[in-house]
Structure 1
Amino acid sequence: MRVPFTKMHGLGNDFVVLDARGDPLPELEPRVAAALADRREGIGCDQVILLEKSESADFRMRIFNSDGGEVGACGNASRAVALLHGAPARVETAGGTIALEPSDGGASVDMGVPRFEWDAIPLDYPMDTLRMPVGWGYLEEPGAANVGNPHVVFFVADSDAIALDSLGPEIETDPLFPERVNVNVATIVDRTRIRLRVWERGAGLTRACGTGACATAVVAMRRGLVEREVAVELPGGALTILWQEDGRIRMTGPATESYRGSFEWDDYA
């Protein structure tokens, strides 16, 4: 079975997009997603994105990390899908329904309302998620938010100086986080700018993470560190995050189509 795909990226966070809205595909099992994402023997990507029909929205978007695990949200992929779709749309995800609106070279995405309750992150036991009384080495007192998937956010003097390649996997898999967690280290530049690096659960260090930018921004806003609209600067580029008065997050930034191709499903099944 020959399957077409579109390779896309948002600020260097890259995706293999499979469009099954017209012709359905076999079930995308985790091992198949991981094989497609493999950068040596597959197509190579941070996430595999599967588009399907939906009864409650314009279409459904499923997101598989490079380890094959399925997750609830991906901000950069949402912008890429908006660009591919080419028109405003309501999109069903495992993390909730979001709204996409393409623009020149990118998109604006309504990411929904963030959750801050300890059991919505989720955490293993109750605690204040604005300033959590926990730490790992020199990373202490993070904030937490769920923006379709779980994030912890540490504010540090210099995010580039943090050994995130070693601390990231330790925190991601800590028993405190029963569904694992995305790890963000952020530096407040001023009240309108944040520098950010992200260890993404199931994918590792990434050049950009849209939900990480959203989570970091709203945690910083809850602590009174920044204004309600900020530029979040990631290694791959910048995103604009606006926490609207109605409680919903709007993320705006670029997306790019890299190339198109096809593969034999049985080569990866």
Structure 2
Amino acid sequence: MLILIFAMLMELTFYKYQGTGNDFVMIDNRQQIFDKNNTKLVAKLCNRRFGIGADGLILLENHPKWDFKMVYFNADGNESSMCGNGGRCLTAFAKFLGIIENKAIFEAIDGLHHAILDNHVVKLQMQDVLSVEIHNQHVFLNTGSPHHVQMETQLKNLDVKELGSKIRYGNPYKDEGTNVNFVKKLSDNRFQVRTYERGVEDETLSCGTGVTAVALAMYETGETKNKLIVLETEGGNLQVSFEKNKDTYNNIWLIGPAEQVFKGSITC
């Protein structure tokens, strides 16, 4: 006897958002329709040839106390640490869904975040940074995600993927890995940044936690005396403002555009 087994297929509604070229698949998961344990599905949806294509996938979920909850997955399908541009885009998505007006408080993997919307610009408050490690050739710090920051004399012809992957998997980072930021100083308050992101395992056009790390690293090493810094990424410009209280960086804000690209559905 021939037994046919039919898999249950689901039509999934999704939205595509981007923040300075850092793009995300957004799913309204307030009804818990998405299987968060299905890493293969996340990776497939993020695949640029066989899926929708994105640097990551973000679920917007209900929260018992705050406006919403953010669940973020890297393009490889694994749940990841904080994504700054993703948080900004999710705030814009929440506004689109009518969950918030112009302000939000939401929970992410690294804790609570405040956000403010001003037309297409979203300002996201990042977590305080308690430690900045200065090494001979680089700076390391965690801005919700770990970041290696190093200065370069030129970025235009730099092979970010090759060099970034070597640093990402090398000592002392190894299996856990790190994101890698290459920086060129343009002026006292302006820096050019290119970033290799772990989980994407390639260069992305922009990285929110990355430019935040760069801004703090440049201040900590004396490359700038400004506390409002412009970061030029491959996908556009972001701003980071902050305060320093003794050894702690606080009141850190990541500022930039966040826009809906399109809405669609996919059978999965």
Shorter-chain TM-score range: 0.7 to 0.9
From 184, 188, 207, give the equivalent of 1:187: 184
Match of 1:16 in 2: 25
Larger radius of gyration: 2
1:16-165 equivalences in 2 (<5 Å):
16-86=25-95, 87=101, 88-116=103-131, 129-130=133-134, 132-133=135-136, 141-165=137-161
Match of 2:199 in 1: 202
Cα separation, 2, equivalents of 1:252 and 1:28 = 32
Match of 2:5 in 1: none
Alpha-carbon shift at residue 28 of structure 1 (Å):
4.3
Match of 1:166 in 2: 162
Q: After superposition, give the CA deviation of every residue in 1:222-256 in whole Å (9 maximum; x if it has no partner).
A: 11111111100001110010013561310110011
Matched, 1:237 2:236: yes
Cα separation, 1, equivalents of 2:130 and 2:204 = 23
Cα separation, 1, equivalents of 2:36 and 2:195 = 30
Query: Moved runs in structure 1, 4+ residues, more than 6 A?
Result: none
Provide the identity percentage: 30
Q: Return closer, same or farther for 1:245/1:154 CA change in 2, 3 Å cut-off.
A: closer
Alpha-carbon shift at residue 175 of structure 1 (Å):
4.3
List alignment gaps of at least 5 residues for structure 2.
Answer: 1-9, 96-100
SS at match of 1:152: strand
Calculate the TM-score normalised by the size of structure 1: 0.87
Amino acid at match of 1:198: T
Amino acid at match of 2:43: A
Match of 2:98 in 1: none
Calculate the TM-score normalised by the size of structure 2: 0.87
Match of 1:221 in 2: 219
List alignment gaps of at least 5 residues for structure 1.
Answer: 118-128, 134-140
Cα separation, 1, equivalents of 2:108 and 2:193 = 25
Q: After superposition, give the CA deviation of every residue in 1:131-176 in whole Å (9 maximum; x if it has no partner).
A: x24xxxxxxx110110111000001212224221211111111241
SS at match of 2:260: strand
Amino acid at match of 2:145: N
SS at match of 1:31: helix
SS at match of 1:71: coil
Q: After superposition, give the CA deviation of every residue in 1:17-59 in whole Å (9 maximum; x if it has no partner).
A: 0111245433342221101101111111111011112235321
Q: After superposition, give the CA deviation of every residue in 1:188-214 in whole Å (9 maximum; x if it has no partner).
A: 111110000000111110111111100
Match of 1:124 in 2: none
Q: Select between 209-218 and 169-178 the one with higher mean Cα deviation.
A: 169-178
